[in-house]
A and B are shown apart, each in its own frame.
Chain A
């Protein structure tokens, strides 16, 4: 059975996908149904959840359900965009290291080891502090701290591919290493790249939410983390407006849980020799 069909039949994968679909469909439905945007002030501040405002209103009288349903998409977009960037860099570096071995491999892997050993949050915070807090820079920073894990995974997988009979045959015929990498290795990397993207999305969303929670994200494009940042800065806690804290965080947790389940399904169907 192919990798894709093994993963898609895994109950963990199905559960994760169901949660993701549920969250995005509800958010999408509310955006189509509700007449408001996240910039509209639609009622009195700090209203508790009601039929009209299912998740209440915030300190400026904005509808929290509207904020959250836009936030879900910003969060998912930043997560996915960073993860694609992470997987691309990881693929290039990982394949290069595994194919050329020797000095190239040693240098690249020492850099990877180094970046993996320092806490990514510290590096991300310092980089975000130096760059301007735009959505593009947040994606860039997440990619900078995220690629080493992907590169290491790709390298291990490539090394196991290098032992495959067709690669050996190609080498015996005198193909160059670049030819082998482009012709035989990269086309066979689909599972690991898809896996890399999903694993990366989980880490990226956690990091993005964290940066936004600290007010270091793009304050124009309100993600779930940014809603929590504003909630904490406004008098939500002291006013007892629990809905401003509980629901955005719950959504982040559901998204992370879904991606964790999918990651687990991928990991157990993908046997990589370390």
Chain B
């Protein structure tokens, strides 16, 4: 490992730590200091009085605010995110992790992978080729990018689900209680995923396409591309050279959208009744389940920080300009 790389890593790692610390402070401030603090939700009739006493002592709500903060950090460090107000007696960690996180990660990773491949390759091709097909695709995808995702979701559910009966209207599975062979269970699961997957692919693809297409379209006119043409390199060869720029763009978008991998798609999951973290977030808002909300928020922060750090490492190897800049800064 070279010295520049080590310097770069430490520098980026420091930024990631700042994000995590700010996130934990933000969570504390949002959930303790704003109106709607935990003592109000503790008056909730769903919580028995002895549990209330226990909770007040446990979270030190009778202590000054800085002591509360220290206690909060200590609890989080031990992996204790508190208990759900709705699923009484269930730790927040158990509510989020497990089935819901699994469903969300399966749906989101499929959607993001499909769109990344589709959007990047189309964007690379159209940006490189230009002309009428480029204009046609680019304007269509700008139009698609203007359609709100919840509207697209309703339309897909209405036309493919209610009208044509091609996809299940809602849910993650049809078999909640019956015992069925594994392959039928998997097929049924995939069948339920078709609707949300179409909606999310229509949502994500324009993001990749527009970004990649603009990057490639700008690069096409640069001197080194003209040189490559003058040397007599085939179009395919030049396209392969340029694809590096497209890849940097793709990594940027994946890093930016990575939090959704875990938080899920609130609208799509809610519309299609997909039992994931996104729907849990919405349900927790309706039911004022603050500990779960806080858990989802903190999970988001950790994922965002990890994704940014990973993307930074990838940039280092993909983008030679970063090495130069890193050296100049020192």
Q: Report which A residues bind B (CB closer than 8 A).
A: 110-111, 113-114, 117-119, 121-123, 125-131, 206, 209-210, 213-214, 216, 228, 231-232, 237-238, 240, 242, 245-246, 249, 252-254, 256-257, 260
- A109 → B minimal CB distance (Å): 11
* Partner pick for B154 among A125, A131, A232, CB 8 A cutoff: A232
- Does B227 reach chain A (CB closer than 8 Å)? no
B201 → chain A closest CB, angstroms: 18
Assess whether B281 is in contact with A122, with CB atoms less than 8 Å apart.
Answer: yes
B296 cross-chain contacts in A, Cβ below 8 A:
122
**In contact, A122 and B151 (Cβ under 8 angstroms):** no
Closest to A123 in B: B297
Partner of B263 from the list A122, A213, A228 (CB cut-off 8 Å) is A122
Q: Are A260 and B146 closer than 8 Å at their CB atoms?
A: yes
Q: Are A237 and B263 in contact (CB-based, < 8 A)?
A: no
Q: State which residues 34-77 of B face A: CB under 8 Å.
A: 34-36
* Majority SS at the chain B contact face: helix
Contact, CB under 8 Å: B285 / A216: yes
Q: Can you sample 29 A-B contacts with CB below 8 Å?
A: A113-B15, A114-B22, A114-B23, A117-B259, A118-B301, A118-B304, A119-B259, A122-B263, A122-B300, A125-B282, A126-B293, A129-B284, A131-B34, A131-B36, A210-B150, A213-B148, A213-B150, A214-B267, A214-B282, A216-B285, A228-B151, A238-B162, A240-B162, A249-B154, A249-B155, A253-B148, A253-B151, A256-B148, A260-B142
B266 adjacent to A130 (CB under 8 Å): no
The answer to whether A237 touches B162 (Cβ under 8 A) is: yes
State how many residues of chain B have any CB contact under 8 Å with chain A: 45
Nearest residue (CB) in A for B259 is A119
Q: Which of B34, B157, B260, B304 contacts A130 (CB 8 A)?
A: B34
| Max chain B C-beta neighbours (<10 A), residue from A119, A123, A127, A232 | A119
- If A117-B304, A118-B259, A245-B158 touch, does A126 touch B146 (CB 8 Å cutoff)? no
State the CA gap A111–B19 with chains docked (Å): 8
CB distance from A46 to the nearest CB of B (A): 14
Task: Take A125-B266, A210-B148, A214-B266 as given contacts and tell me if A245 and B304 are in contact as well, using a CB distance cutoff of 8 Å.
Answer: no
- B297 and A130 within 8 A (CB): no
Distance of A261 from chain B, by nearest CB (Å): 8
CA distance A128 to B143 in the complex (A): 29
A213-B150, A249-B154 known; 11 other A-B pairs, CB under 8 Å?
Answer: A111-B22, A114-B22, A121-B266, A125-B282, A131-B35, A228-B154, A231-B154, A242-B158, A245-B158, A249-B147, A256-B146
Count of A-B contacts with CB under 8 A? 111
Give the chain B neighbours of A228 by CB distance below 8 A.
150-151, 154
Residue in A closest to B260 when the chains form the complex, CB atoms: A119
Q: Which residues of A contact B305 (CB under 8 A)?
A: 117
Q: Which residue of A lies closest to B144 (CB)?
A: A253
State the CA gap A123–B163 with chains docked (Å). 36
Alpha-carbon distance A246/B159, docked complex (angstroms): 11
| A254-B147 Cα distance, complex, nearest whole Å | 8
- Which residues of B line the A interface, CB within 8 A? 15, 18-19, 22-23, 26, 30-31, 34-36, 142-143, 145-148, 150-151, 154-155, 157-158, 162-163, 259-260, 263, 266-267, 270-271, 281-282, 284-285, 288, 293, 296-297, 300-301, 304-305, 308
Q: A119-B259, A130-B34 are in contact. Are A113 and B154 (CB under 8 A)?
A: no
A122 touches B259 (CB 8 A): yes
In the assembly, what is the distance between CA of A3 and CA of B228, in Å?
37
A138 to chain B: closest CB distance in Å? 14
Inter-chain contacts of B304 with A (CB < 8 A): 117-118
- The residue of chain B having its C-beta at the shortest distance from the C-beta of A261 within the complex is B142
A113 / chain B contacts, CB cutoff of 8 Å = 15, 19
The residue in chain B whose Cβ has the minimal distance to the Cβ of A238 is B162
Task: State the Cβ distance, B41 to closest chain A Cβ, in Å.
Answer: 10
Taking CB atoms, residues of chain A closer than 8 Å to B270 are 214
Contact A117 B19, beta carbon cutoff 8 Å: yes
Q: Which residues of A lie under 8 Å from residue B163 when comparing CB positions?
A: 240
Residue numbers in B under 8 Å from A126 (CB-CB): 30, 285, 293, 297
Task: Please give the distance in Å from B159's CB to the nearest CB on chain A.
Answer: 8
4 closest A-B pairs by beta carbon, nearest first, are A249-B151, A257-B146, A129-B285, A256-B146
Q: Which residue of A lies closest to B149 (CB)?
A: A210
What residue of chain A has the Cβ atom nearest to residue B16's Cβ?
A117
- Whether the pair A252, B266 counts as a contact (CB closer than 8 A) is no
In angstroms, Cα B306 to Cα A117, docked, is: 11
Residues of A within 8 A of B15 (CB): 110, 113
Cross-interface CB contact of B288 among A129, A240, A257, cutoff 8 Å: A129
- Once the chains bind, are A118 and B23 in contact (CB under 8 Å)? yes
Closest to B147 in A: A253
Q: How far is the CB of B194 from chain A (nearest CB, A)?
A: 17
Cα(A254)–Cα(B146), bound, Å: 8
Contacts of A260 on B, CB cut-off 8 Å? Answer: 142, 145-146
